[in-house]
Amino acid sequence: MSSSKTDILVVGGGLAGCATAYYLARAGAEVTVIERDELNMQASGANAGSFHAQIPHITFLEEGEAWARNFAPVVEMLIEAIDLWRGLEAELDADLEVRIGGGILIADRPEQMRDIERRMSLERAYGLDIRALTRDELLQLAPYASAQAVGGCYCPIEGKANPLKATAAFARRAEEAGAVFYRHTELRALEAVSGGFIATTGSGTIRARRVVNCAGASGGKVARMLGIEVAVQGFPIQVNVTAPVAPIIKHLVYAAGHRLSLKQTANGTLLIGGGWPAHVDPDSGYPIVDPHSMIENLKAAQRVVPAVAGAHLVRTWAAVVNGTADWKPVIGEAPGHKGFYFNFFPWTGFTAGPISALTTAELVLGRKPSIDIARYSSLRQAA
Ligand SMILES: Cc1cc2nc3c(=O)[nH]c(=O)nc-3n(C[C@H](O)[C@H](O)[C@H](O)COP(=O)(O)OP(=O)(O)OC[C@H]3O[C@@H](n4cnc5c(N)ncnc54)[C@H](O)[C@@H]3O)c2cc1C
């Protein structure tokens, strides 16, 4: 490609970009995706694969009630997001290891139950099925939980899928529907011209009528090419994986007192994360593991599920998650920049990747979106 044309240019080949390309191409649109690396090499391929619907409990405690009230409507979108995942294996004709086993948050101090109740009342107001568990109910549902547990809560719609499979399946089906993918093609400059945009990449220019920014943690940098400021950032975090063990955990497990997400994959490994901070190497710019985070994350997992102590850690990796302070998505056409769209879902963009992409594609095509995105997106304030 030294000079080409397309109707819709999608920037970024993570879950957001590949799924957006799929929904656009499925509707018959002409789409080109550019990815500076290989597909699925950043957050979308390095995440923990959890489907989150609850307001993140530790962030709720740290940021407080006002933050949670502002974020709470997004719970509705997460419910829709997980509902869409239920049909994706059939739609994409691919095994994505989707399992909806429910999410359990475990408390080990009686006073934590008050915070759980406060959080659940916000979530219920937006339609989330979530209920408190007494100690006996918890141990019946989750016999693997520590004897120190005092109770918790249960959200039946949470679950997981395999991040190594999902983006690839969307990309495959998008390509079959006619989308063109240019890998190792970095967007370096973007200029608004009459009737669209000229994108300058490392391998030539592309003229496009519309552009969709799916650049994840680099979404702010791409927007700045048009002079748009959006408070999107990248945060290095890490995940641990153990060798396979016999089936013990069928839920997505959180803790009320520590940053934790814990689950067992289809092949028996335990994935232990929860957003513990990593570092960015100042020389290479690559994310690197923080050993202190690793130890504290594993300690938190063992405290809640003692059987974790019997599993061998095989790997800890770091990756950069796309984040915003309010955790709200930035989705839709940038005000004052006709034809330039954002598809940016922060922190839990694996869960919300498909619904965000479907909604973005609908907006780009001028159709009524399947969800009322104006209720959730912070685009108007952010742009
Ligand atoms: C360690 C970790 C664990 C996580 N766990 C979970 C979880 O359990 N559940 C959950 O719901 N979410 C989780 N997330 C968040 C989730 O992974 C992300 O929110 C989501 O993958 C974002 O998808 P994306 O496609 O927007 O971004 P990315 O996957 O980062 O993709 C953006 C792509 O754009 C490309 N790009 C950027 N700039 C340019 C340019 N100028 N030109 C061309 N290409 C460009 C990048 O190379 C990249 O491939 C986690 C994230 C991390 C890092």
Mean pLDDT (the chain, rounded): 96
- Please count the other Cβ atoms lying within 10 Å of the Cβ belonging to residue 306: 14
Q: Which stretch of DSSP H or E encloses residue 297?
A: helix 291-304
Q: Which stretch of DSSP H or E encloses residue 307?
A: none
Q: Which stretch of DSSP H or E encloses residue 379?
A: helix 379-382
Tens of pLDDT, residue by residue over 148-191, are: 999 999 999 999 999 999 999 999 999 999 999 999 999 999 99
Q: Which atom from ligand 1 is nearest to the alpha carbon of 188?
A: 41
Residues whose CB falls within 8 Å of the CB of residue 346, separated by 6 or more in sequence, listed in order: 232, 321, 322, 323, 324, 327, 328, 329, 330
The CATH number that domain 101-158+234-323 falls under is 3.30.9.10
Question: Hey, where are the domains in the chain?
Answer: 3-45+164-232+326-382, 101-158+234-323
**Whose C-alpha lies nearest to ligand 1, atom 50?**
47
Q: Report which DSSP code applies to 87.
A: T
Give the CA radius of gyration of the chain.
21
Residues whose CB falls within 8 Å of the CB of residue 25, separated by 6 or more in sequence, listed in order: 31, 174, 177, 178, 179
Q: Which atom from ligand 1 is nearest to the alpha carbon of 45?
A: 29
**Whose C-alpha lies nearest to ligand 1, atom 22?**
349
Mean pLDDT value of segment 316-320: 98
Task: Work out whether the CA dihedral 290, 44, 371, 325 comes out positive or negative.
Answer: positive
The whole-angstrom separation of Cα 149 and Cα 304 is 8
CATH of 3-45+164-232+326-382, picked from 3.50.50.60, 3.40.50.300, 1.10.3720.10, 3.40.630.30, is: 3.50.50.60
**Whose C-alpha lies nearest to ligand 1, atom 41?**
187
Percent of the chain with pLDDT over 70: 99
Tens of pLDDT, residue by residue over 241-253, are: 999 999 999 999 9
What confidence tier does 114 reach under pLDDT thresholds 50, 70, 90? Answer: very high
pLDDT at 381 over 90: no
Q: Is 20 in the pocket of ligand 1 (CB under 6 A)?
A: no
- Please count the other Cβ atoms lying within 10 Å of the Cβ belonging to residue 185: 22
What integer pLDDT is reported at residue 379 of this predicted model? 83
**Whose C-alpha lies nearest to ligand 1, atom 20?**
349
